Structure formats: structure tokens, C-alpha cells
Structure 1
Amino acid sequence: MIKSQFGLTKVRSMALAKNTAHVITLFALSNLWVACKKLLAMMGVVRVLGA
């Protein structure tokens, strides 16, 4: 109620949207990492450079 008096009602929803986007991005990157490791294993590459 105090937040709405000062016009801060969107702060929480914006933070939730940002956190949701962050989690989705992390899942997408994780899926790419797993796919990359599988593809490299299929090609016979033993080690990923830089890891």
C-alpha cells in the first residue's frame, strides 16, 4: 500500500520479469552447453578448448 502511494507498484513486476528472463537465458545456455559437448563427443573431440 505504501509503495502504491509513491508510484512503485511496477517495481516488483519488473524485477520478476527480469529474473524470469535471466533464468530462461541460463536454461538456454545450459542446453547449448550440453548439446555442444554431445556434438564434440560425436566428432571425436576429447576436450573443449578453454575449459
Structure 2
Amino acid sequence: DKLLPWKQLETPIAKHYARGGIGRPPYPLSMMLRIHIMQLVYNLSDPAMEDALYEIESMRRFAGVRLDKIPDETTILNFRHLLEKH
């Protein structure tokens, strides 16, 4: 947490990130950003990142994910597309 300035990284993304409303509430931005960074560091595809979150507890802890609330590969893909777009 001390290595990266998380709040400064989240701020420019927050204005484009879903706020909720109708349907399932969005995953926290901080969680999705941490998942994205792990994906880059470990060079994982979207399906591989989802699998890693199920299999590796340290990754779940870093991202702040519970085993019963892991984002699926499509959610991870959509977040990456959001970052690419903005």
C-alpha cells in the first residue's frame, strides 16, 4: 500500500467508473485497479487472472477480494477496456 499512490491512481479513473444504480452494484474501483496491476505484472489474460484469484490467496488479499465475490473474466475485460478508452 505504501509503494504505490493508490488514491492518486484512482482519482482520474473514478469519474469514468460505474457508480451503480440498476442491477448488480459495481466492484470497488480500488479492487479492480489492483487486479489490473497484478494482471500487468504477472502478464495474465483475463481468464487467467480470474483463475489466479480463485487459486492464489495472496492475490485475493492484495486485491481485497473475497472468495465468494471474485470478478469474472468479462468484468476484468470491461475494466481494462474502460482504462484503455479513458
TM-score, normalisation: structure 1: 0.32
More helix by share: 1
Q: What TM-score does the superposition give when structure 2 sets the normalisation length?
A: 0.20
- Structure number with the bigger relative contact order (C-alpha 8 A, sep ≥ 6) is 2
